[in-house]
């Protein structure tokens, strides 16, 4: 079975976990550093794992709301809870507000705690516990809750609170056991020169559905293509619709960034944008297009690189002015398939934006890709080397702008 970690080469840990892009910046880490300084300087922020309510002393609604407050905040780009780019306030469901009131009362009367005795303090300090205490300490707390309420479930004391506690604590444990064990997550992406914040849903990752994961190359290429459109003349016009195709779109970050920037700059007219992948990936891809309200300008559908006939029968054989591709090589067959798709679909005067991770494991496939591009008269007219880090580790990348040779 394919292991996503096979894509990466282990290396010593580094201090800087932020995504670094040559010539194309991602949201910086000033907020992270400032927050870390604030935590050190203001002891009101410090809440230890021992400050959380013990199951034996607190009612179930108190335990439940604490687990809800410990949910991971939305991820911005590839920041995790330890280095989130901003202090995103936690928003509770209206149905959870009464439990928050119970928690205030519990920390006021039953377990007096001056750092946790108001709603504002609870909403601020308990979520920050995940950034302050160790994962091991959090897991000990979660497993103690799981053990206590697993026993309660088998007794007459079981109720709706117990069921919700078991569900929430199972999610918290999974979230602390690495990306492959994590449940589905929501991500935010902010890209320079794009006003819109992109929202993406990532289902729980499985080894045979790597398209459910947003890879670092997609963020880098998203930056590059948005910058490319930013620099196009605002008076750019065409006598026909400008067609754009994303191959192997995955969660759709690159195509969604392209579509959002195109709409901002040129409105919705005179363009056709297609985000494509395999059938098992496309349902989530369609959802992400809808989440970002781009279904009026972008279409998500199936394009099988080994048999594109279904796509061409549905949308025609007209070639594309632009093709965007991020991280398409993770098997020996992919170089040939990718080049076949570029040759089949790219206009004679079209441009292909290609982002490739420089993974050691796939160096032979990468060399084969470069050779095939040359053999099919595709010329590299611009190139950018960069480095970055996503959920799995640090990777070097190369971007190539490709055109057919004259």
Q: Structural domain boundaries of the chain?
A: 47-177, 183-402
pLDDT surpasses 50 at 26: no
163's tokens: 């069921």
- Highest mean pLDDT (candidates 69-78, 175-184, 280-289): 280-289
Provide the residue count of the chain.
406
pLDDT tier for residue 392 given thresholds of 50, 70 and 90: low
What is the residue-wise DSSP string for 83-121?
G-SS-PPP---GGGHHHHHHHHHIIIIIS--TTSSSHHH
Residue 339 CA to residue 366 CA, distance in Å, equals 12
Report d(CA 394, CA 178) in Å as an integer: 16
What's the pLDDT tens digit per position in 306-345? 999 999 999 999 999 999 999 999 899 999 999 999 999 9
Average confidence (pLDDT) over 181-210: 81
User: Which string of b and e fits 312-342 if b means at least 16 CB within 10 Å?
Assistant: eeebeeeebbbbbbbbbbbeeebbebbbebb
Please state, in angstroms and rounded to a whole number, the distance separating the CA atoms of residues 197 and 191.
Answer: 8
Quote the mean pLDDT of the chain.
84
pLDDT of 41 > 50? The answer is no
Burial status of residue 39 (CB atoms within 10 A of its CB: 0-12, 13-18, 19 or more):
middle
Q: Cβ distance 75 to 130 under 8 Å?
A: no
| pTM for this entry | 0.74
Of 300, 299, 327, nearest to 219 by C-alpha is 327
Strand order in the sheet with 75-76: 75-76, 185-189, 198-202
Q: In this predicted structure, what is the pLDDT of residue 292?
A: 98
How far apart, in whole angstroms, are the C-alpha atoms of residue 176 and residue 199?
Answer: 22
What pLDDT is stored for residue 72 in this prediction? Answer: 82
Q: Is 162 exposed, middle or buried (0-12, 13-18, 19+ CB in 10 A)?
A: buried
Domain 183-402, CATH 3.50.50.60 — does that match?
Answer: no
CA-to-CA distance for 80 and 77, rounded, in angstroms? Answer: 9
Nearest to 215 by CA among 17, 397, 1: 397
Q: Where does the pLDDT of residue 263 fall: very low under 50, low under 70, confident under 90, or very high at 90 and above?
A: very high
User: Tokens 């070639």 identify what position?
Assistant: 319
Say how far apart CA 241 and CA 405 lie, in whole Å.
24
For residue 238, name the pLDDT band (cuts at 50, 70, 90). Answer: low
Question: What pLDDT score does 29 carry?
Answer: 41
């Amino acid at each position: 079975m394919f292991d996503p970690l096979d894509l990466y080469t282990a290396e010593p840990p580094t201090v800087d976990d932020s995504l670094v892009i040559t010539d194309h910046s991602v949201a910086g880490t000033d907020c992270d550093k400032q927050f870390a300084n604030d935590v050190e300087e203001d002891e009101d922020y410090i809440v230890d794992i021992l400050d959380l309510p013990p199951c034996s002393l607190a009612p179930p609604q108190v335990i439940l709301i604490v687990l809800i407050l410990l949910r991971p905040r939305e991820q911005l780009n590839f920041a995790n809870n330890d280095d989130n780019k901003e202090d995103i306030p936690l928003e509770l469901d209206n149905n959870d507000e009464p439990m928050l009131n119970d928690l205030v009362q519990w920390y006021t009367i039953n377990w007096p705690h001056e750092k946790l005795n108001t709603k504002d303090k609870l909403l601020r300090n308990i979520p920050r516990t995940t950034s302050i205490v160790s994962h091991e300490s959090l897991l000990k707390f979660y497993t103690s809750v799981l053990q206590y309420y697993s026993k309660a479930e088998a007794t007459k004391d079981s109720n709706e609170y117990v069921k919700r506690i078991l569900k929430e604590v199972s999610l918290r444990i999974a979230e602390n056991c690495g990306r492959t064990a994590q449940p589905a997550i929501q991500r935010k992406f902010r890209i320079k020169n794009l006003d819109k914040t992109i929202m993406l849903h990532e289902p729980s990752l499985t080894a045979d559905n790597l398209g459910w994961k947003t890879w670092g190359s997609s963020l880098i290429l998203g930056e590059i293509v948005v910058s490319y459109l930013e620099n196009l003349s605002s008076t750019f016009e065409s006598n026909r619709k400008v067609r754009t195709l994303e191959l192997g779109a995955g969660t759709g970050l690159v195509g969604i960034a392209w579509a959002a920037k195109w709409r901002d700059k040129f409105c919705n007219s005179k363009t056709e944008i297609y985000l494509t992948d395999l059938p098992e990936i496309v349902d989530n891809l369609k959802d992400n297009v809808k989440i970002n309200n781009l279904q009026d300008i972008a279409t998500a559908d199936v394009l099988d690189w080994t048999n594109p006939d279904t796509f061409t029968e549905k949308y025609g054989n007209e070639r594309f002015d632009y093709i965007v591709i991020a991280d398409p090589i993770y098997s020996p067959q992919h170089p040939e398939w990718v080049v076949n798709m570029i040759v089949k679909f790219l206009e004679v005067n079209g441009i292909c934006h290609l982002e490739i991770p420089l993974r050691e494991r796939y160096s032979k496939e990468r060399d084969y890709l470069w050779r095939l591009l040359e053999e099919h008269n595709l010329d590299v007219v611009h190139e950018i080397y960069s480095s970055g880090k996503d959920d799995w580790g640090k990777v070097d990348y190369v971007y190539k702008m490709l055109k057919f040779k004259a």
